């Protein structure tokens, strides 16, 4: 039970944009960043609905308590001060994760304060504990698509949604196996259900599932909820209207539009405002495709937006928005809402540009044949950013997107390193020395940890995620010599490849994320010793290079040990793909 408590006295990492960055923007750039940030925050409730069924009503309750108390919590005696502190620690962790499951670990966390104290806050705030959680929600939220109704009273929300934990239900996974997932509604969804929908619905109709949720209404009947402002299907040329029968002649499926309708409307409205301040025609066209995506639900519109995003080279204000990463959905195909607004750090970007310019040379050093690389390396945009706004369950240190395999292959991708995230992680206010690092190694580790991590992230994103090629069949042919395929690990020609419509995620499911992260981590470790790369990052003498390398290996070894926190031996599940990757590395 105790391991589910919210963190106590946790280290704080201040995420700030250096004061010189925002004022240096032009008025037009500031307004563009402002409206993109508004669009980003407008999707916050979407994230909560994807985390757990109780997350959004908990959010409403937290805001209601804070508003009605005017931020003045009880501190009349030592006990009250302690209980208030524990409550606020839970609230801060909830808001940081946009839900009651850890973004890094995928486990539920509960308050350390007593249930009695939590309910005393209701009394002080004059909130009726017997009323429905619906009464705390904004009036314009469409509750046809929310889970507030699962809790008849606020008391029930506190007792069951907030405080109750069971070993399996406190982990994200398939509901049919006893785990929790808010990507699925209705009857418990099974792995077999998702495999069927992947193969006979999404693949056969060439519909991308990232912006959907699954409502199982019967043993062989499903509704696919599509995130869109429109509550009716306006894209019938790609999404069938009414109920259809899959090729197994048994399963019935219907697409239902309007999931997150209020939020999609708000996102689209702010994007329209941002469009007025776009820096160029590419940005304007990109935003228009985003707007089409959020209004209609068209997955293809988002893919078109990502193509244009890749072509918008090195903008002063970098943004990305949509249903992006599929790590948390148990079958690995539905994306979590995520949005980034950031300002380019030109000094740091210069390092990454040099890494990009030499990328082909570094990729050629990797231990596999050129048959497994793209025939022509299109140098991607690689920038260092200062994050201004980020909406999602957790902020990464680096990003390599888009995730659409065909876009990456035919158009390209972008790498971004989030500079103030890297700095904040290294400067967190931890009161304890780093675990698993000896007294002898601590000075090197503490001095070079941040520098080494920056190098690792650069290699991880550009040369890790950015290298390699999936052997794929397209409608117009193959991206490899089908008659003379490359050799596999057994020394024989490979006989398998991705068929039309198949993707890395659709074939490998839950393993896709950890496997790809492991590949990127191993490549980072492999190339960390390259003196030319270290020279690019400003480490010119042998002594500093050796210390950066040493700190890097200490960091990865420590990360592998820390990863065990995210392994549940009772359920045999890893709670975080990156940690599964680091343990394997």
Closest CA to 328 of 394, 377, 267, 421: 394
Active-site hit among 338, 461, 516, 521: 461
Q: Which among 505, 468, 99 has a CA at the least distance from the CA of 324?
A: 505
Give 135's DSSP letter.
Answer: G
Is 461 considered catalytic here?
A: yes
Contact (Cβ atoms closer than 8 angstroms) between residue 18 and residue 125 = no
Number of H helices, E strands in the chain: 21, 14
Taking each helix axis from N to C terminus, what angle separates 542-562 and 442-459, rounded to the nearest 10 degrees?
A: 90
Task: Copy the structure tokens of residue 546.
Answer: 């050796």
Q: Which two tokens stand for residue 334?
A: 């539905």
CA 306, CA 301: separation in Å to the nearest integer?
Answer: 9
Residue 539 DSSP one-character state: -
Backbone angles phi, psi at 396, to 5 degrees: -80, 170
Do residues 187 and 223 touch, judged by C-beta distance below 8 A? no
What's the angle, vertex CA 290, arms to CA 295 and CA 350, rounded to 5? Answer: 160
Written in H, E and C, the secondary structure of 227-247 is: ECCCCCCCCCCCCCCCCEECC
The SS3 assignment for 344 reads: strand
Alpha-carbon gap, residue 252 to 223, rounded angstroms: 9
Q: How far apart are CA 496 and CA 23, in angstroms?
A: 54
Order of strands across the sheet that contains 414-418:
317-325, 336-344, 381-391, 414-418, 398-401
Specify the DSSP element, H or E, that contains 363: helix 359-363
Distance CA 461, CA 465 (A): 5
Question: Can you read off the two tokens belonging to residue 354?
Answer: 């040099």
Strand bridging mode 473-474 / 567-568:
unpaired
Catalytically annotated residues: 461
């Amino acid at each position: 039970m105790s391991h589910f408590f919210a963190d106590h006295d946790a280290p704080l990492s201040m995420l700030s944009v250096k004061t010189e960055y925002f004022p240096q923007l032009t008025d037009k750039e500031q307004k563009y960043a402002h409206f993109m940030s508004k669009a980003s925050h407008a999707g916050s409730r979407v994230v909560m609905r994807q985390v757990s069924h109780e997350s959004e009503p908990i959010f409403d309750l937290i805001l209601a308590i804070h508003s009605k108390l005017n931020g003045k919590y009880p501190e009349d005696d030592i006990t009250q001060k302690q209980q208030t502190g524990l409550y606020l620690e839970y609230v801060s962790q909830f808001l940081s994760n946009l839900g009651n499951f850890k973004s890094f670990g995928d486990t539920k966390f509960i308050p350390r304060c007593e249930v009695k104290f939590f309910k005393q806050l209701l009394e002080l705030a004059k909130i009726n504990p017997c009323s429905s959680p619906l009464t705390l929600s904004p009036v314009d939220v469409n509750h046809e698509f929310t889970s507030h109704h699962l809790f008849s009273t606020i008391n029930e929300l506190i007792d069951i949604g907030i405080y109750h934990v069971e070993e399996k239900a406190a982990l994200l996974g398939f509901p049919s196996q006893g785990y929790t997932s808010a990507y699925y509604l209705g009857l418990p969804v099974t792995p077999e259900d998702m495999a069927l929908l992947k193969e006979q619905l999404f693949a056969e109709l060439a519909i991308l599932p990232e912006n959907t949720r699954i409502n199982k209404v019967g043993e062989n009947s499903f509704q696919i909820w599509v995130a869109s402002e429109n509550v009716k299907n306006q894209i019938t040329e790609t999404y069938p209207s009414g109920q259809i029968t899959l090729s197994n002649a048994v399963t019935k499926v219907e697409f239902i539009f309007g999931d997150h309708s209020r939020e999609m409307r708000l996102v689209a409205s702010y994007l329209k405002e941002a469009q007025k301040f776009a820096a160029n025609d590419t940005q304007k066209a990109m935003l228009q495709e985003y707007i089409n995506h959020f209004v209609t639900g068209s997955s293809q519109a988002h893919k078109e937006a990502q193509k244009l995003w890749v072509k918008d080279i090195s903008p002063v204000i970098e943004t990305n928005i949509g249903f992006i990463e599929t790590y948390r959905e148990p079958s690995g195909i539905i994306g979590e809402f995520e949005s980034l607004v950031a300002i380019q750090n030109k000094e740091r970007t210069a390092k990454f540009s040099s890494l990009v310019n030499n990328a082909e040379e570094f990729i050629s050093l990797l231990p596999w044949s050129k048959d497994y690389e793209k025939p022509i390396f299109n140098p991607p945009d690689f920038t260092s950013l200062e994050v201004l706004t980020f909406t999602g369950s957790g902020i990464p240190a680096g990003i390599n997107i888009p995730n659409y395999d065909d876009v990456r292959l035919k158009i390209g991708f972008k790498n971004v390193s989030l500079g103030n995230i890297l700095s904040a992680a290294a400067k967190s206010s931890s009161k304890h020395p780093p675990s698993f690092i000896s007294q002898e190694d601590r000075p090197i580790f503490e001095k070079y940890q941040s520098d080494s991590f920056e190098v690792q992230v650069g290699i991880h994103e550009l040369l890790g995620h950015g290298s390699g090629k999936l052997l794929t069949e397209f409608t117009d042919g193959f991206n490899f010599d089908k008659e003379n395929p490359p050799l596999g690990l057994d020394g024989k020609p490979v006989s398998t490849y991705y068929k039309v419509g198949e993707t890395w995620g659709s074939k490998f499911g839950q393993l896709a994320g950890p496997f790809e992260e492991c590949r990127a981590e191993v490549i980072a470790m492999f190339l960390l010793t390259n003196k030319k790369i270290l020279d690019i990052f400003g480490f010119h003498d042998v002594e500093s290079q050796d210390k950066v390398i040493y700190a890097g290996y200490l960091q990865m070894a420590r990360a592998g040990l820390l990863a065990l926190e995210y392994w549940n031996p009772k359920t045999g599940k890893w709670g975080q793909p990156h940690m599964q990757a680091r343990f394997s590395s």
